[in-house]
Amino acid sequence: MKFTIEKSDFIKVLQRIQGIVEKRNTMPILANVLLDVSDGKINIMATDLEVFIKDSSPARVIEDGSVTVNARKLFEIAKELPGETMDISSGKDDKVTLKAGKARFNIMGLPSKDFPVFPAIDESAMKEMDSAVFRELIEKTSFAVSTDETRYNINGFLLESSSGRLKMVATDGHRLALITREGVSIDSGSKEGVLLPRKGVMEMKKVLDEKGGSFLLGITQKNAVMKRENTVIMIRLLEGEFPDYTRVIPKDNDKDAIAVRADLLSSLKRVSLLSTDKIKGVKFSFSNSKLVLSSSSPDIGEATEEVDVEYPFGELEIAFNARYFVDMLEALNDEKVRISLKDPLSPGVLRPTNGEDYTYIIMPMRL
């Protein structure tokens, strides 16, 4: 294998795969990237067996071939090599040589025949989707995904598609985020909804963040696949049953408080500075057209701040995890937010004031 490639092109592709490469080294070859040179271009693949990524870059091919080499070291070396182009080659011993200017590196590789095969995909079954729409679904739910690996059924996103409507839901048991987009749908086979693992979805988002436009998305019984120009990402769906989120959404929260999102966000950030580090509890004291936020820590001190709100009801005192509130407020770009409450022990519902297509539910705390 021997080729010459633009350094910037190579670095861009290598950077894209760094988050997917297996770092725990359960199988040494999963820490590697596959370089496959043929047909005048270089194909690059990485996987942790749950997420697969395949990309390509133009190159001046001198000799076809393939090899796998440590993905992190290859990326680090490529970034530091001088000049704008680099020469890469490998021999029968799977040793990879990188040259640029007066610099030369030799890295030990592993045979490409031992690398997992990229699963076959049926591009004809994929549907075009707007990148901005799918990115918004992720941005407004990703912070609510559980990081508790023992609760694997909520370690990802529920994606539902029906009647020309697409829904994405995430929960960690303490809060739930739900967003709906009309006029958008995908074919999820015979399933009403599929569970997308957090890692794979966030890798998809990285690709969508690079620029606007559209991409192809397909769902099968076991996998979800996205294709954006030369980049293909395939993720294995989570097994298990997502909780029935419709039962969690309160129906009788009849006390609405409307606040300016930016004001509430900045006040919460300040007051939570003196809350207990682990639980970030902040007390919300509502009264006529006023909200007083307060926090205290026995070892540090206490803080209070008043926020103007539209609230024409009697006094209500309830406590929430400030970080959960901040996560949602930062994901919104609406001017105002509606907080719907019932009593101090019932979950609160947050929505933008201009629609019902985004719902965030947060459990109260005892302080």
Which H or E run includes 14?
A: helix 7-17
d(CA 5, CA 328): 43
**For the whole model, what pTM was predicted?**
0.92
Mean pLDDT of 192-205: 93
The CA distances from residue 353 to 99, 144, 248, 261, 363, in Å, are 58, 21, 21, 10, 20
Q: Dump pLDDT digits (tens) for 308-330.
A: 999 999 999 999 999 999 999 99
Q: Could you tell me if 21 and 71 are in contact, meaning their C-beta atoms sit under 8 angstroms apart? A: yes
Q: Could you tell me if 182 and 152 are in contact, meaning their C-beta atoms sit under 8 angstroms apart? A: no
Q: Dump pLDDT digits (tens) for 239-275.
A: 989 999 999 999 999 999 999 999 999 999 999 999 8
- What is the CATH architecture of 249-362? Roll (3.10)
Please give the residue that has the higher pLDDT: either 276 or 56: 56
Q: What is the pLDDT of residue 263?
A: 97
3-state DSSP assignment of residue 176:
strand
| Cβ-based burial of 341 (10 A; exposed 0-12, middle 13-18, buried ≥19) | buried
Do 123-246 and 249-362 come out as alike in CATH topology? yes
- What is the CATH architecture of 123-246? Roll (3.10)
Residue spans of the domains in the chain: they are 2-114, 123-246, 249-362
Question: pLDDT band for position 121 (50/70/90)?
Answer: confident
Q: Dump pLDDT digits (tens) for 176-190.
A: 999 999 888 787 655
Q: Give the CATH H-level superfamily of domain 2-114.
A: DNA Polymerase III, subunit A, domain 2 (3.10.150.10)
Residue 237 has pLDDT above 90, yes or no: yes
d(CA 8, CA 282): 47
Please give the residue that has the higher pLDDT: either 144 or 188: 144
Which tokens in the block code for residue 12?
A: 């861009």
∠ CA(20), CA(278), CA(302), 5° rounding? 140
Question: pLDDT band for position 298 (50/70/90)?
Answer: confident
